[in-house]
Structure 1
Amino acid sequence: MFKPSTLLQYVRDVAASATFYSGILGTPPVEQSPGFALFLLGDGAALGLWQRDGVLPPVTAGAGGAELAMVVANPEAVQQLHDAWCGLGVQIAQAPVTLEFGHTFVGVDPDGHRLRVYSPAEGLVARD
């Protein structure tokens, strides 16, 4: 049995994307080369940024077909992160709003990958 632990985002410019993710995550990558950067997210999870034109087999899908979701403690934390990301110049695809699953907003990275921050609605189980 295995446990998936790393999400890979295919990016055009690893250095630019590593700078972007360092800003929103508040930590630098633990590993970085011209073609790859790795961020440790805690609890064994990691985010890898892989130079899109170096991926084998070649990438055929575009960005935006999936989201990296980040759980926070409460709606106030959603608003605080939204404000911080706006201060960093992050493109916001969805302003803070309460949906069926909780309070949320969506930012977009330089390659168009969707980044959802949310606080689960009362009674829902969150994995943080």
Structure 2
Amino acid sequence: MTPTYILLYVDKPEASGTFYAELFGRKAVESSPTFVLFVFENGLKFGLWSKHGVQPPASGAAGSAEVAITVDADALEATFHAWTAKGITIAQPVTELDFGRTFVALDPDGHRIRVFTPVG
């Protein structure tokens, strides 16, 4: 089995969709008041579902998991500066950790977006 879908429960899917469209540099393939979907070249689907209609109701809080994006060292620095310039909330500035160089941003709901360059 291979995971193919990431779902985040958000307060306002269309607003979150706008945030992620700018972040990812792509348009959603589906958008409604309760659900927004992005599809990537590698087949991964990234959905934003209204937390008000999720069945069964979700009990987890934003920030208890991360969306991780692997990039090279130059892209990490460029992404950090671009996102900072756009006013995206940064929870952790560029930092060296045991797995590599990284930073963490937050989406409008407080979900973590970790950008990192792995060691090796």
Band the TM-score falls in, shorter-chain normalisation: over 0.9
Specify the alignment match of 1:37 in structure 2: 36
- Let me know the Cα RMSD of the aligned residues: 0.9
Please state whether the residue corresponding to 2:9 is helix, strand or coil. strand
Matches within 5 A, 1:47-126: 47-73=46-72, 75-122=73-120
Where do 4+ consecutive residues of structure 1 move more than 6 Å? none
Q: Deviations over 1:22-70 (max 9, x none)?
A: 1110111111111000011331111100000010001111111110000
TM-score when normalising by structure 2: 0.96
- Return the alpha-carbon distance in structure 2 between the equivalents of residues 71 and 15 of structure 1: 26
Unaligned stretches of 5+ residues in structure 1: 123-128
Structure 1 position 3, deviation (Å): 2.1
The code of the aligned residue for 2:58 comes to V
Q: Name 2:13's counterpart in structure 1.
A: 14
TM-score w.r.t. the length of structure 1 is 0.90
**Gapped runs of 5+ residues in structure 2?**
none
The answer to whether structure 1 residue 28 and structure 2 residue 27 are counterparts is yes
AA partner of residue 62 (structure 1): A
Q: Distance in 2 between matches of 1:38 and 1:77?
A: 25
**Matched-pair identity in %:** 44
Partners of 2:5 and 2:90 lie apart in 1 by 25
